[in-house]
Amino acid sequence: MTTRDTMLTTYVEDDLADEIQQRANQDEVTVSTYIADVLSQHIREQAVEDTMHQTSAEQRVEELVAQARDELLTTTEQMNELLAKTGVNTIATWELVKRDYTDGVRQHALSQGAQRLHGELDHLGVDVEQFHDTLHTVDETSQSETDKRMADTDSDTEPDSGWSFET
């Protein structure tokens, strides 16, 4: 058993002092030992309670992280689906446009689209130079693909793209 050498002094009301004395007598210990035991037990219980609260908070954080991860995955799946549909619609529109307009008109439309995108990126504070090369590559690729497809396709027949479009 450890020794108690540090003295603490506290003041309590008479009724509480009488209650402490009675309980110490029931436990057959001194008032000092009784108070030290009660305080020690209270401190241990408080430590257990603090640990439970900390564990509960950690579990809640883990639950929130799992919930956020699930929501992000769902949103990502929805975005991917939307992007795929947008891509299909863009390709379908391009297929229709290239039948009705000359290469010069299509090239002008692509150039205007690139300029508008450039303006929007600039307005948003995005490094426009980073996208400049990408825009030229897309512009040149679109033109060469258009030329190739137009050469392979009769003007009386629809090109077989292999895509099915749903509304």
82 with 28, same domain: the answer is: yes
Segment 16-32 shows an average pLDDT of: 94
Note whether residue 39 is domain-resident: yes
- The range of the structural domain enclosing residue 83 comes to 13-87
Among the candidates 42, 63, 87, a domain finishes at: 87
Q: How far apart are CA 77 and CA 99, in angstroms?
A: 34
- On whether the pTM is more than 0.75, the answer is no
50 with 109, same domain: the answer is: no
Q: How far apart are CA 158 and CA 72, in angstroms?
A: 41
Among the candidates 63, 87, 111, a domain finishes at: 87
Note whether residue 43 is domain-resident: yes
- Assess whether pLDDT exceeds 70 at residue 39: yes
Q: 10-22, pLDDT tens digit by residue?
A: 899 999 999 999 9
Q: 72-83, pLDDT tens digit by residue?
A: 999 888 888 888
67 with 44, same domain: the answer is: yes
* Cβ-contact 114, 131 below 8 angstroms: no
Helix-helix angle 31-100:128-152, to 10 degrees: 40
**Computed over its alpha carbons, how large is the radius of gyration of the chain?**
39
